[in-house]
Chain A
Amino acid sequence: MMMDNDPMDNELTALLSDYAAPIPDDGFAAKVKAEVAKRARLRRIFIAGSGGLGAIIAAMQLPALYGIISGLPAASKLPADLTPSGESPFYSSMLEDLTWGNLSPVMMGTAIIGVIFIWFAAEATLEKL
């Protein structure tokens, strides 16, 4: 602290302490806490909504993506030097392994990445609110 010895400075400090005396709570803290809770609720709704929307958009793309993957040339039709084991239908078997019902792991991965991206975008947006 400064100026402890000068009586005038002490008086000035005392006056300034009164001038900027702390204000009683009067419900301010409760109001802030209510606002914090409200924003947390909004954040949860926004994130869940964004995640749901992302999942729906990703799911809507599944048939088209599945069609693209199914249309890829089978290994047997590729030139022999591009196939790892001659007659072995390597790529075909790989695609079959990757496919699980109507959902392939590739598409699932794409959907998950989409949801994560939307999640982070929502978080970043909420941080700015």
Chain B
Amino acid sequence: MPAASVNFDALLRAHQGVIRAFLRRLCKDAALADDLAQEAFLIAHQRLADLRDPKAAKSWMFQIAYNVYAGHARKYARRRALFEASHGADLDEATQPPPAGMARDIATAMDNLTPEVRAVILMNMSYGMSHSEVARASGLPLGTVKSHIKRGAEKLRTFLKAYEQA
């Protein structure tokens, strides 16, 4: 059992909502996102002793969640390639209930970003993490993170302008 300064129950209560939302937005499947979130929290429970600074809990949890998602995405990409090679058709995309109005459009705009850029934008703009925290959580170089955020935000701003003009 991990002997840590951070209580697992508190960590779970404090971060389950954002981690699940983050993963839902990344993999676009609520059930799968919850499975990945559960896996992330189980890993966090095992490695709780590694978390020395309770203030870093948020970026630490995002790091685990993003790694779990990336691992799943890699496996899924391989499975998909195998399936398409043998069947010549796409696997069904899991979907969430469509949101309405502008929320739907921002969801569409976000879905057009690559998962990596989407993850970085979410961590920075939705969850208020600093660039260096995002870099640590995503395992990307700081320069790449800044560039992803700049370009991603630019695309979203362009979308927002077009929406307002319409």
Contact = CB atoms under 8 A, between A and B. Distances in A.
Among A2, A33, A35, A127, chain B packs the most CB atoms within 10 A around the CB of A2
A12 B21 contact: no
Interface size class of A (residues with CB under 8 A): 20 to 34
A13 to B, nearest CB: 5
Interface stretch (B72-80, B83-91, B123-131): B123-131
A113 B149 CA distance: 54
A2 B124 contact: yes
B106 A19 contact: yes
Tell me what chain A mostly uses at the interface: helix, strand, loop, or mixed. helix
B161 A8 contact: yes
Given A17-B126, A35-B38, A12 B153 contact: yes
Interface of B: 1, 8-9, 12-13, 16-18, 20-22, 24-25, 34, 37-38, 41-42, 45-46, 102-103, 106-107, 110, 121-122, 124-128, 149, 153, 156-157, 160-161
Interface of A: 1-3, 8-9, 11-13, 15-25, 28-29, 31-33, 35-36, 39-40, 127
